[in-house]
Amino acid sequence: MVLNGIFSKKHNMTIIMVMLIIATCGSFMQIAGTSWDVTSHIMEEPETFFTPSHAVLYAGVALLTVAAGISVILLIRNNELRGSSIATPLKLLIIGSTISLVAGPSDFLWHETFGVDGLLSPPHLALITGMLINAVATVLGLARIAVHITSHTRQRLIKAAMVPAFAALWFTTTWYVYMFSLPFSNGENFQFNLNPDIASLIAIVTLPMLSSIIFLTASKSIGRFGAGTIVSALVVGINIFANIIPSQGMLSSILPWYSIIAILPALLADIILYNSTIKSKLGLRATELIAGILVSSVFYIFNYPVLTWAFAIPLDMPIANQQGIQAVANLTSNFLSTLPVMLSITLVPAALMGLLGALFVSKKIAVPTFQRQQLQPSEFILQEK
């Protein structure tokens, strides 16, 4: 009887909203813990299950599992929900969480069978795929349920939840690209590293485009000045927490400079997007294109320090022949010494990829207003025009 009351149809929207907020927290913690765990491996810290990074990672997995379980109950008990647009993100949560749960023991069996593996092993690829599906599900779910919420307080809550949801999506897509770009995938029995030139090309093409798409979609979905900047700042914050702070100070010397340069383009993009004078002179599409170019053009700095390794071999950096703590100790100096060359190589391609990402958002992503009373249940925020 208690279960019937909690999951009654009149409570469905509230339950879904709370569940998506739980999933957002889970997705955020999962990618932060995963990135922190990779840094711990690079720092050659003792490998045990009971580590702080694992605690954050598996706490996120637990929250996503709870959200997926609630999704199963809701879909089973409500025929109308199964036919609505909200069903898709719920199904994605179930799929993503299932893949993540299966990937854990699969990774253990892989280690037992093949020994130490690299970044791009099948279990690791399955895990990051499940994480990406979960991140997409939370963003899509929050966007679609917003159409069904009439309370202004809850609308503000949903908009607030979109900030960490988009940040988690951004950082997860970044790590998905890292899987194919970083030279960390050679293990004891399998050599999964891609050709260094191809790996670096993948990073140059995909990371700027994804940055542009996610920044502009977040800005349009949340619909307020500063939203895109806050999402960008939160991504930078995750990066600092998971990849820079655990380096025992080895990567912190340029932290103030890095933080300003990484966030400043997003702030400028926000000003262009929401300044009425600029919009009236240039038009909405032009401002979106300029914003996309700004955010994407400094992707190499934005993704410091991890992305540096993707270009270590093509640029013949000393860290290409170093491992562990020695490589981390020299990473900042390698990054700074090659920065002029990297900017000359990446600025124009990154701007072009950002432009393509902005064109995609401008043409394909439609964001209705938050006047819920006038919308039909089948309408949703992220949809193709």
Report residue 298 as tokens.
Answer: 């400094």
Cα dist from 221 to 16, 59, 193, 215, 238, whole Å: 19, 28, 37, 10, 21
Which residues does 298 contact at the CB level (< 8 Å), separation at least 6? 261, 262, 265, 350
Nearest to 304 by CA among 267, 355, 276, 342: 342
Could you report the per-residue pLDDT of 90-119, keeping only the tens digit for each? Answer: 999 999 999 999 988 888 888 778 777 778
Alpha helices by DSSP H, 240-323: 255-274, 276-282, 284-297, 299-302
Q: CA 199, 201, 204, 210 torsion: positive or negative? A: negative
Report the candidate in 74, 78, 59 with the shortest Cα–Cα distance to residue 19: 74
Cα–Cα dist 53/154, whole Å: 32
380: tokens are: 């949703």
Residue 9: pLDDT band by 50, 70, 90 thresholds? Answer: low
Write down the mean pLDDT value for the chain: 88
pLDDT-based confidence at residue 333 (cuts at 50, 70, 90) = very high
Q: Which residues, including other chains, have CB under 8 Å from residue 280's CB and lie 6 or more apart?
A: none
The type of residue at 20 is L
Q: Which of the four pLDDT bands, split at 50, 70 and 90, describes residue 360?
A: very high
Q: What are 244-295's pLDDT values in tens digits?
A: 999 988 999 999 999 999 999 999 999 999 999 998 899 888 999 999 999 9
Provide, rounded to the nearest whole percent, the portion of the chain with pLDDT above 70.
Answer: 91
372 vs 133, higher pLDDT: 133
The pLDDT of residue 1 is 44
pLDDT, mean of residues 7-13: 61
CB 140 within 8 Å of CB 92: yes
Angle at 41 between CA 36 and CA 45, to 5 degrees: 100
Average pLDDT (178-182) is 95
Q: What is the DSSP string of 357-382?
A: HHHHHHHH-B---S-GGGS-TT--SS
**Looking at per-residue confidence, does 149 or 76 come out higher?**
76
> What pLDDT score does 367 carry?
66
Which residues are within 8 A (CB) of 180 and not within 5 positions of it... i.e. 6 or more apart?
Answer: 120, 194, 199, 202
Interval 186-237: pLDDT, tens: 877 778 899 999 999 999 999 999 999 999 999 999 989 999 999 999 999 9
pLDDT value of residue 27: 96
Distance CA 346, CA 204 (A): 7
Q: At 371, give phi and psi (nearest 5°).
A: -90, 80
Position 2 confidence tier, pLDDT thresholds 50, 70, 90: very low
CA angle 200, 347, 280 (to 5 degrees): 135
Per DSSP, the three-state class of 335 is: helix
Residue 148 has pLDDT above 90, yes or no: no
At residue 379 the predicted structure's pLDDT band, cuts being 50, 70 and 90, is very low
Preceding omega of 377 cis (within 30 degrees of 0) = no
